[in-house]
Structure 1
Amino acid sequence: MKHLLLVLLLLTGSLGRVMAQNDIQKIESQKIGYITNRLNLTTEQAPQFWAIYNDYNGKKKELNRKVRQLTGENSRQGMVANDAAVLSNLKELNGAKQKLGDLDDEYMPRFLKVISPTQLQELYKAERNFNRMLLEKLNSNQD
């Protein structure tokens, strides 16, 4: 009986991970469609653009993860840590935010070899709009 319960728990956990992975893939597919349409990418532009964007987006996700981590540490340490530790953390947070700006500067010429400046500006808008829509949908599902 214990083995059956253990197997059921393992299967339930695995199913949850598979469902979460499917949700992530669905969101990524929607994002690709949304950005492709907003930028009005041609069939020639799309493969080159997505190769650059995927590299850029992977680095951007890592930096955003670092910012969220540091922001969480700052709020937790504020009550316990000394001023020097908090200041060090804040400097590290500012450095991570600066790296996000540097990443945009680094990738701008790469994007501009494939898409127009207007399309690049639209990319930044499309990312913000997609993320906002996603958050609104998640918030409405929690109500």
Structure 2
Amino acid sequence: MKNLIIIMGLLLGFATYAQNDRHDRIKALKVSFLTEELELTPAEAEKFWPIYNIYDKKMDDLRNRERELFKQKYGSAGAKNNFSEAEANKLITEYNDIIEKRYNLDSSLMSDLTKKLPAAKMVFLPEVEHKFGKKLWEEYRKRKK
């Protein structure tokens, strides 16, 4: 029994390490992709990445909140949970709060970036991020086959 617990702990540790490693590789690809697509000079990249990393962390926190909200709405089998009006209104309020915070983060990101970098480059950031996400998704689908 003790050996089983140790083995399960090791497997969980490896799974967590693999997930963190995958996240780090994706992050490195994103840094390279955005830097190249936005044609950032080394001096511009030095200003861009600290601002963008703070934004990205906050957006990741909002995505995690949204995933938790989704888990509350649906059961483990994917069936819709039943809610009272008060519970449903609370979930809607939380969802609207997430949307508002995303909008505010996007706005402040562009404002912060254009104070230190050329707006002529930053105007393309939303499309470049979308392009990266699309490329990542296509790569994921290729590997699944």
Instruction: Tell me which of 84, 99, 123 is aligned to 2:86.
Output: 84
Matched to 1:137, the amino acid is E
Q: Which moved more, 1:35-44 or 1:101-110?
A: 101-110
SS at match of 2:116: coil
Distance 2:120 2:66 in 1: 28
Residue of structure 1 in register with 2:131 after alignment? 129
TM-score, normalised by the number of residues in structure 2:
0.84
Residue of structure 2 in register with 1:45 after alignment? 44
Report deviation, 1:39.
0.7
Residue of structure 1 in register with 2:120 after alignment? 118
Q: Is the 8 Å Cα contact of residues 78 and 86 (structure 1) preserved in structure 2?
A: no
In structure 2, list runs of 5 or more residues that go unmatched: none
Report deviation, 1:118.
2.8
Report deviation, 1:88.
2.1
Q: CA RMSD in A?
A: 2.2
Q: Is the 8 Å Cα contact of residues 63 and 96 (structure 1) preserved in structure 2?
A: yes
Distance 1:42 1:97 in 2: 33
Q: Is the 8 Å Cα contact of residues 71 and 93 (structure 1) preserved in structure 2?
A: no
Residue of structure 2 in register with 1:63 after alignment? 62
In structure 1, list runs of 5 or more residues that go unmatched: none
Residue of structure 1 in register with 2:103 after alignment? 101
- The superposition leaves residues 77-134 of structure 1 with CA deviations (integer Å, 9 ceiling, x where unpaired) of 9541112211221122012101110112222221002222232222111111111221
Distance 1:11 1:53 in 2: 35
SS at match of 2:41: coil
The change in CA–CA distance for 1:3 and 1:73 in structure 2 (over 3 A counts) is: closer
The change in CA–CA distance for 1:29 and 1:83 in structure 2 (over 3 A counts) is: same
Matched to 2:133, the amino acid is N
TM-score, normalised by the number of residues in structure 1:
0.85
Identical residues among aligned pairs (%): 23
Question: How many residue pairs align between the two structures?
Answer: 142
